[in-house]
Structure 1
């Protein structure tokens, strides 16, 4: 163990057991309420933001299910409403405030309604102060570090009928063995680590999610083995930067080592992961992706910008040339791999020459898809103080040029799949049809096809017959 290495610990079993006692207390309380009103007590969780938030919401659902709540889809039918928030972009925060305002009338109609708000937004002190002052109908405010204590916070709100605010600055611990209620049984998110140490100059995440904390191999493997027993076929490993996995644990386990271990789990057919930081994409990880037959041929590797100057300003800690070198190494070791990325357009100080460097990376890397964003200021980040902010008109013009190039490349790649037979994990009916089924290839391409209910959860061969903008149409080869 290197000197000064920070070791992540687990929340004590006593603390976890205490939360289960609160779950049981609330369950008994709710049974009394259900008997008196003659109908279920219901909850709704509205999730804003990334897959980590989705996974956190599944954990909240698990707790609420244990407390005797039933999930519903309408706010007006709810006895408990939770907003799980994101603060990566400012417009996400404004949206949350709009929704909170709309809940005031519901609270007036139903004074027993409990409104809770949690997630990344709550880790900002000015946001919590604003909610205390402006949205007095909110009952519970908590952050990302004490999610496991939600049963205790809810119990306090129910018994005292007063506002409960409990936001922790950070924690070096991980809470294991709390309930979870997953939305799907074929695919599952599995968080392998929390937090981020990278401090990219545009990003608020390290300030609200805290420093990197890895779960133990034993806990992750137990969770994945249980998922496999429950019929799950595909897992997606989550972390702000999965490539850093294990650096805060005793021993020398790396993310590549974790992949090799999970590849042995019987019943799991596919393994995906996100997100990878280019500066930590090791040869060892590339070889693990190549060697592990369950790890899918898809890599999401955010480039953010093509100019080495802008990358330096972003504190990304790699150059354009280093990034393209990684892409070349990945493609040579894993032929046919699908690459996706994130790109920010209009970062402060970005010149026309800098932007052309981004277009050059897109042309050379040939991403299957790019998630593109106009730069937006996040208060509290170094980039927000940069005086060289780019005008919105320039940002939008560059954004359109980037989309035009990327869409052309995406279509060319997809056109090459016409007539090919691809392995698809059948996820279920598509949202727009009662006879069309949908699933994804190992390369993460969406495929729609005529199927039957018995195919759900199975791997099938589909011949691609038509290329659409964001999906493929195919026919089952029987």
Structure 2
């Protein structure tokens, strides 16, 4: 069937995977718009004729979702609803040779760091003067702020360095400029993201510079919340906590993926830390910032994990009582050092273990939330959903953490901060009234 041709191209970008991918899509959108090319993100109107699929290649489920999305867009092209389908991102970076053979209908494949080549394909020029400017796909009051690319760690389960390369920091000046652009466009909260936040600056400044960056960002007028995501526990720079204590607009929130607590598992995962060291680190963090909300992620089903390891992990959660926890099941990643380890557990057993561990955390989360009833908090109104206002405290990040449902007859503008009093608490959500 002959494809349709529009008078003017319109590009739709579909983003899969993590917030780092989302930022890449926003940068691409900003560049296209600066080239006077119509662009949209995850367009439901289907008035576009070109699609760019920004893929994720992190774990099996993400790969499957990416491939299914590519095939769906190809089917639209074959039906004459699209003129071009392009693919970028982590899956394309890692498997483009094989994918190009399997899905020849895709017009071109691009890696994670090939933005200028995508623009050239779309008859657009890469505009260096757009440093820090991008077209947000999030609500305008919050944004992700990527401070570095890639990772130098050698965790045995992780393929990110294969897809994103080694660690490359942006300069403090670049990041502050971007933050100022974001605030100018209405952003009140930024979430600092990187594959490894605490490594920031080692490559260009020859020392860990995250605390200095935090101070510079804290000085940006209008930036009311700064949140830290993905801090590696080994050789954690404690000065981060000093900055948190001295700056009111840095959230008492830390996302620090630990992945496991059993020493045999930590060694097999090449995490460069022991269980005892993790206990000491968490104790030191809570001593310095007593009201810190600690979020972590764990992996279950790693090759060699025993029932004892699972019980140890459950006990660890009961002792530490993290505010937020996410659980992943292990999947083999090609060319990682753990790939050739024998996988002795079925996917059903892995899922069963994940559920078992999350039930422990669910009870902890419920108990911690019950303790909040009657307390007052400053919250950020994120959205209106089913006639209700949905907000977050400084202890909760977007999409992954608790939400606060506000009951009121007053009009609350989305993106505003309000003071509320918690009236009810559940496993993962809170209800509140205006204070």
Which residue does the alignment assign to 1:153?
Answer: 121
CA contact (8 A) 2:66 2:91 kept: no
Alpha-carbon distance in structure 2 between the residues aligned to 1:176 and 1:215: 15
Which residue does the alignment assign to 1:471?
Answer: 429
CA contact (8 A) 1:320 1:361 kept: no
Segments of 5+ residues of structure 2 without an aligned counterpart are 397-401
Alpha-carbon distance in structure 1 between the residues aligned to 2:236 and 2:80: 52
Q: Give 2:131's match in structure 1, choosing from 157, 177, 186.
A: 177
How far is the alpha carbon of 1:279 from its aligned partner? 0.6
**In the alignment, is residue 57 of structure 1 matched against residue 25 of structure 2?**
yes
TM-score (norm: length of structure 1): 0.83
1:97-151: CA deviation from partner (whole Å, max 9, x where unpaired):
2222233332123276110110011122xx2122222212211210111224421
Mark the CA change 1:253 to 1:320 in structure 2 (over 3 Å): closer, same or farther: closer
How far is the alpha carbon of 1:248 from its aligned partner? 0.6
Q: SS of 1:278's equivalent?
A: coil
More displaced 10-residue stretch of structure 1: 379-388 or 339-348: 379-388
CA contact (8 A) 1:44 1:74 kept: no
Mark the CA change 1:269 to 1:112 in structure 2 (over 3 Å): closer, same or farther: closer
CA contact (8 A) 1:85 1:96 kept: yes
CA contact (8 A) 1:425 1:440 kept: yes
Alpha-carbon distance in structure 2 between the residues aligned to 1:318 and 1:206: 20
Mark the CA change 1:95 to 1:139 in structure 2 (over 3 Å): closer, same or farther: same
TM-score (norm: length of structure 2): 0.91
Q: SS of 2:250's equivalent?
A: coil
Alpha-carbon distance in structure 2 between the residues aligned to 1:175 and 1:229: 17
Matches within 5 A, 1:34-433: 37=7, 41-66=9-34, 67-71=36-40, 73-74=43-44, 76-110=46-80, 113-124=83-94, 127-155=95-123, 177=131, 179-183=133-137, 184-250=139-205, 252=207, 254-387=209-342, 389-430=344-385, 433=386
Segments of 5+ residues of structure 1 without an aligned counterpart are 1-32, 157-173
* Runs of 4+ with deviation above 6 angstroms: none
Mark the CA change 1:176 to 1:390 in structure 2 (over 3 Å): closer, same or farther: farther
More displaced 10-residue stretch of structure 1: 214-223 or 451-460: 451-460
CA contact (8 A) 1:44 1:73 kept: yes
Q: SS of 1:382's equivalent?
A: coil
How far is the alpha carbon of 1:56 from its aligned partner? 0.8
**In the alignment, is residue 443 of structure 1 matched against residue 401 of structure 2?**
no
Alpha-carbon distance in structure 1 between the residues aligned to 2:244 and 2:62: 34
Alpha-carbon distance in structure 1 between the residues aligned to 2:246 and 2:72: 52
Mark the CA change 1:109 to 1:398 in structure 2 (over 3 Å): closer, same or farther: closer
Q: Please identify which structure carries the higher helix content.
A: 1
Flag the structure with larger Rg.
Answer: 1
